[in-house]
Amino acid sequence: QVQLVESGGGSVQAGGSLTLSCAASGYTNSYRCMGWFRQNPRKEREGVAAVRRDGAGTYYADSVKGRFTVSQDNTKKILTLQMNNLKPEDTAMYFCAAGPSFCLFNTWDVEETYNYWGQGTQVTVSS
């Protein structure tokens, strides 16, 4: 079992920044890919970013490229999402997820790639 706990959400104005963190605990040797998803007020969920545990790849949704940066600290078992130049359309509940296989360009944003999920942290961006 892997437990994931997100933190760092909040309310900011457009153009602002937030840093989300996801702390993993439990049998953390079991995951090979970690990612961030978000669910907007219309309940649509999308992949935001992901990183392979071996460091061989990072992946981003087109909507966040150049603004968001995903990183991991394998020693501390923390996944981070640095979000800059936030826009109102970034408003969503953000979830951290971990999966047992190395993510690829065509799987990182597929929910079935992940079998562990956090409870989420809310991000609200006002215009």
pLDDT digits (tens, 9 = 90+) for 63-88: 999 999 999 998 879 999 999 999 99
For the segment 47-60, the average pLDDT, to the nearest whole number, is 95
- Res 57: pLDDT: 93
Mean pLDDT of the chain: 95
In this predicted structure, the answer to whether residue 30 has a pLDDT above a threshold of 90 is no
Q: What is the pLDDT of residues 9-18, one digit of tens each?
A: 999 999 999 9
- Res 21: pLDDT: 98
- Res 13: pLDDT: 98
Closest CA to 117 of 37, 19, 13: 37
